[in-house]
Each structure stands twice: as structure tokens, then as C-alpha cells.
Amino acid sequence: MNETEPVPEGFVRVEDTGPFMTLLGPLYYRSAGNGRIIALRIGGRHLNRRGIAHGGMLATLADSALSVNISLSRKPRLPTVTVTLTTDFVASARAGDWVEAHVDILKIGSRLAYANCYLQVGAKRILRASGVFAVTRAPRPDQASDG
């Protein structure tokens, strides 16, 4: 397998990921129920010195998939920020692997949202993440900050 293998059927490239997530991708998604499965193909830039996908990169993918799915679960979209992210690394991903992030939303309250994410290569789970997200309100223009 290599990074140039075709994208599995049903997945569409995510076009507007922002500057940081552009470094991670390209990312793809497929609709699943009320949410999305977020995915990417592991390339050389994703590997650590041992030749497997870097744990921080996998945690970033899980965090992003959790946030996207919580956001899309409400109309209008629900803005969130990560409060806590816990990860358990179960197995490795290697160059060429297609990694999918499957999200299970547990609860969305007025201030906090809870969800789990499972990163998978095929049917094999490689990571479990549990996240708590603060539900935020979009700032008014006069409340915007530089950081």
C-alpha cells in the first residue's frame, strides 16, 4: 500500500480545513447517520522514527473528528472547544493505511458535550479517544481576540 492509492468509494475530500489541519491532510469524509466518518491515508509525513503513524497525529485526527461530529449534530452548528481528550493506543497504523475516525456522541448538554472516537484500519481498531468539549457561543466581532 502507498499514499497514492485511491480513496475508498463514498469518501469526499474535505476542502476547508483551516491552516493547521491542512498540514495533517488531505482529509476525507463520508456521511454516516447524523455525522461524518473522517479519514486519511497514512503517508510518510505521518510516521515517527519507528516507521508507524505518530501518536500525536492520530490524537489530532480523533480530536478533530469528535469536534466535527458534535458540531454537525445540531442546527445551527454547535461551536465547541476541547476541554479533555484521553487516548488509548491499541495498535499501529503504517504508511499506506486508510484510517477512519468513527464517532459516538454520548451526551450534549447546555455547557458540555461528551463523545468517543475509534480510529480504525479496516475492521481493526487502533485508537480509542474519549473527549469532553465545551459548548461555546461564537464571539461578537467586538469580542474577537488574536489568540
Question: Looking at residue 127, what is its pLDDT?
Answer: 98
Mean pLDDT value across residues 120-147: 80
- What's residue 138's pLDDT? 60
**Residue 50: domain span:** 12-143
Kindly state the average pLDDT of the residues 71-93: 93
On the question of pLDDT at 45 being above 50, the answer is yes
Could you tell me if residue 63 is inside a domain? yes
**pLDDT for position 16:** 75
Look at residue 129 and tell me if it is in a domain: yes
What does the pLDDT look like over 2-22, one tens digit per residue? 456 889 999 999 887 777 877
Question: What confidence category does residue 69 fall into, taking pLDDT thresholds of 50, 70 and 90?
Answer: very high
Higher pLDDT, 63 or 140: 63
Residue 105 inside a domain? The answer is yes
Contact 46, 59 (CB under 8 A): no
- Tell whether 2 is covered by a domain: no
What is the model's pTM? Answer: 0.87
Query: What is the domain-level CATH number for residue 87?
Result: 3.10.129.10
In a domain, 65, yes or no: yes
Q: Give all strands of the β-sheet with 80-89 in edge-to-edge order.
A: 12-13, 28-32, 35-41, 98-108, 112-121, 124-135, 80-89
Phi, psi of 125 (to 5 degrees): -80, 130
- In-domain check, residue 128: yes
75 DSSP 8-state letter: S
Distance CA 142, CA 147 (A): 14
Least confident of 47-61, 71-85, 98-112: 71-85
Return d(Cα 85, Cα 129) in angstroms, integer: 7
Is 6 among the domain residues? no
Domain total in the chain: 1
pLDDT at 147 > cutoff 70: no
